[in-house]
């Protein structure tokens, strides 16, 4: 953590008066003071402090200024929820280009949840940001590579058919390397490659069809027999998915089943875990050979706003520091990822409440406890998987700041000893 609340606020007043806030305070201390004021419903003092913070932050400065800017926007939006209008930060949907021109991607909305939903309205912008995130940070590629290796090692028994259920397949970037590995393995063993079926879930049928078409063309280029089955989730209806999971997916008797949950399970988290536990029970009932799980190593499901704010500030500081150290100052990709992808997440964690809050991450210990409670057993990730992950970091993200740890037979990838992502394998 950045430190306890008392440590962070040791040099800051618990209440902000009309006079100027003393300048020796750091931006992080002021942010925490502002969040504390909001938690105490002292909205007028918080608004005054936000205006000071906004004047000292910028989406184009160093990592601290850029991070403060995103949290100021989120706190401004939270104040708007309480009927306190602020003019210190642009609303969500405003995207800055590197030359500082402003392009509004959605109009201002009347409530925080509606404003947050504006981020989801431009699918092409989100797609571009996701692909940039996949390129400029190692976290998604690390998760995909390690999950693929766990699947390949679990399915070494000469299966004639493999079925992968990929919850939230996005654009399918995880699967071409696995297809290539299956084709190479069959070449080396002189056995025909197995029939591969992938069921991919998503919220946009056009994206699902395009993803399936790309994967089919790649499979054909390798001589793999392949089928893709899109499973559309309407309006993020996770409850319906959990209730009807077995009937929603066609399983054949001769298939080995792998279930892939990369950055997905946290979406089931709410103020209680009933929906998530139901989903895990349904997955277990499918009798998969292997289940791969990757999640953020963060606790953003705190019910109390101030605790959640501190957790988020701690987590995203490490992320922004990693981007600062590994990308040039004028990187357009970094700017887009910070403002649109991470900015959307920060807005959700800080400004949204109740059913409208979606970014509810938990740390590995919580996932481990829940998975074991429904009967899953951990499968240790292999030394070869570790070697692959290290090679990925060395070749594509050669910074000493990225740290890979092995704990409890699972992998943790972080920045400067701060774990940010975890991945594990289960059966």
Regarding beta strands 102-104 and 94-96, do their DSSP bridges make them parallel or antiparallel, or are they unpaired? antiparallel
Three-state DSSP class for residue 174: coil
Task: Give mean pLDDT in consecutive 10-residue pieces for the chain, a chain of 427 residues.
Answer: 45 42 68 96 95 89 93 95 69 39 34 48 80 94 98 89 94 96 83 92 92 98 96 76 77 92 92 89 94 97 94 97 92 94 95 88 96 97 97 92 95 96 98
Closest by Cα among 269, 183, 174 to 214: 174
Torsion (CA) 238, 244, 246, 249 in degrees, nearest 10: -70
What are the backbone dihedrals phi and psi of residue 298, each rounded to the nearest 5 degrees, phi first?
Answer: -155, 155
Q: Which pLDDT value is given to residue 115?
A: 45
pLDDT of residue 152: 96
289 neighbors 251 (Cβ within 8 angstroms): no
For residue 254, what pLDDT is reported?
87
Give the residue from 321, 399, 326 showing the smallest Cα distance to 28. Answer: 321
* pTM of the predicted structure, to 2 decimals: 0.87
Both tokens assigned to 213: 């078409």
**Domain ranges in the chain with CATH number 3.40.50.150:** 138-297+370-379
Token match 């906004």: residue?
Answer: 54
50 CB-near residues (< 8 Å, 6+ apart):
34, 72, 75, 76, 79, 86, 88, 89
380: DSSP letter: P
Q: What are phi and psi of 257, to 5 degrees?
A: -105, 130
CATH number at 138-297+370-379:
3.40.50.150
Q: Given this model, what pLDDT does residue 409 score?
A: 95
Share of the chain above pLDDT 70, in %: 84
Give the integer Cα–Cα distance in Å for 169 and 194.
21
Q: Give the per-residue pLDDT at 13.
A: 41
């Amino acid at each position: 953590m950045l430190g306890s609340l008392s440590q962070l606020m040791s040099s800051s007043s618990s209440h902000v008066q009309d006079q100027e806030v003393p300048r020796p305070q750091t931006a992080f201390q002021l942010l925490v003071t502002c969040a504390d004021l909001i938690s105490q419903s002292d909205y007028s003092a918080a608004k005054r402090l936000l205006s000071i913070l906004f004047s000292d932050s910028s989406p184009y400065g160093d990592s601290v200024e850029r991070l403060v800017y995103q949290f100021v926007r989120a706190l401004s939006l939270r104040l708007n929820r309480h009927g306190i209008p602020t003019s210190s930060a642009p609303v969500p949907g405003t995207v800055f280009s590197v030359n500082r021109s402003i392009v509004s991607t959605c109009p201002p909305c009347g409530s925080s949840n509606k404003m947050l939903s504006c981020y989801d309205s431009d699918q092409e912008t989100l797609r571009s940001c996701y692909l940039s995130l996949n390129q400029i940070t190692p976290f998604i590629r690390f998760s995909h590579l390690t999950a693929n290796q766990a699947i390949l090692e679990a399915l070494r028994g000469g299966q004639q058919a493999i079925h992968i259920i990929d919850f939230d397949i996005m654009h399918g970037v995880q699967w071409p390397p696995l297809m290539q590995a299956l084709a190479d393995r069959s070449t080396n063993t002189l056995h025909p490659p197995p029939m591969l079926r992938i069921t991919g879930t998503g919220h946009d049928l056009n994206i699902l069809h395009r993803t399936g078409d790309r994967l089919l063309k790649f499979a054909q280029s390798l001589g793999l027999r392949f089928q893709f089955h899109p499973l559309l989730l309407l309006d993020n209806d996770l409850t319906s998915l959990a209730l009807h999971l077995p009937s929603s997916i066609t399983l054949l008797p001769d298939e080995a089943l792998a279930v892939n949950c990369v950055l997905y399970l946290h979406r089931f988290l709410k103020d209680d875990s009933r929906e998530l536990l139901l989903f895990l029970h349904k997955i277990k009932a499918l009798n998969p050979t292997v289940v791969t799980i990757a999640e953020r190593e963060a606790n953003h499901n705190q019910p109390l706003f101030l605790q959640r704010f501190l957790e988020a500030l701690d987590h995203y500081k490490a992320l922004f520091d990693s981007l600062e150290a590994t990308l040039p100052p004028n990187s357009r990709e970094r700017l887009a990822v910070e403002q649109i992808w991470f900015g959307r997440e920060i807005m959700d964690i800080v400004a949204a409440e109740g059913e409208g809050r979606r970014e509810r991450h938990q740390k590995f210990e919580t996932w481990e406890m829940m998975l074991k409670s429904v009967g899953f057993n951990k499968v240790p990730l292999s030394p070869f998987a570790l070697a692959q992950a290290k090679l990925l970091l060395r070749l594509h993200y050669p910074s000493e700041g990225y740290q890979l740890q092995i704990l409890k037979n699972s992998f943790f990838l972080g920045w400067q000893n701060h774990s940010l992502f975890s991945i594990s394998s289960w059966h």
